[in-house]
Chain A
């Protein structure tokens, strides 16, 4: 049973709208991440945080922003959604450095975003 929760699971929204994708975890992990996943493509890291008030951009450039005000909460915001933002967004957390053997990533079940 996943201890990391993402809402909404599915979102269809019009161009230009502001959206926030929610992610919460109950494991007390300091490290949290946002990945983007498109069919047949690699997962790409778009944002990560190593603790409260710490956020960094990942490998893939993204117009989204994130915040980390509480350890358990790591929301992702798009100020003005566009069709190019259509994708699946996966949130993850880990106890230690990313995926390092004994500290695997724990993923949520994702938010599938469609921008029309």
Chain B
């Protein structure tokens, strides 16, 4: 069983739509939860991180963590064509401080 499972997508949405991205994880020892964004032919870059259950907002982005269900989500409001990218969830293992990544979801926002 993979440590982190990410909804595979791809997703194609019209400009202005809400994008919902989801991951589940199996190890309750995970403690930090991150979302990386990767544009085509670029390396991933950190978008958001959180370490507690609940919601964290940053502009149009909201990261949500439910530790009881081992479920994390990223919501993008008022999506823009510039949000077109692959989004990777990543979770830090507390036993060895290494990241486990999801396989990524590719999002295309149509103008």
Contacts and interface: CB of A to CB of B under 8 A. Distances in A.
Given A40-B103, A42-B103, A98-B92, A107 B98 contact: no
A99 B41 contact: no
Interface string A92-116: 1000011111001111111000000
Interface residues of B, number: 25
A107 B41 contact: no
A12 interface: no
A42 B44 contact: no
Interface stretch (B13-21, B45-53, B58-66, B68-76): B45-53
The main secondary structure of chain A at its interface with chain B is: loop
A92 B45 CA distance: 10
A109 B103 contact: no
Given A101-B51, A104-B34, A45 B43 contact: no
B4 interface: yes
B104 to A, nearest CB: 8
A90 interface: yes
Nearest to A91: B43
A42 B105 CA distance: 11
Contact of B101 (A42, A108, A110): A42
The number of chain A residues touching the other chain, given as a range, is: 20 to 34
A59 B32 contact: no
16 contacts: A42-B4, A42-B103, A42-B104, A45-B98, A45-B99, A90-B43, A98-B99, A99-B99, A100-B32, A101-B32, A101-B92, A104-B46, A104-B49, A107-B45, A110-B41, A110-B43
Interface of B: 2, 4, 8, 32, 34, 36, 41-46, 49, 51, 88, 90, 92, 97-104
Interface of A: 2, 4, 40-43, 45, 58-59, 90, 92, 97-101, 104-110
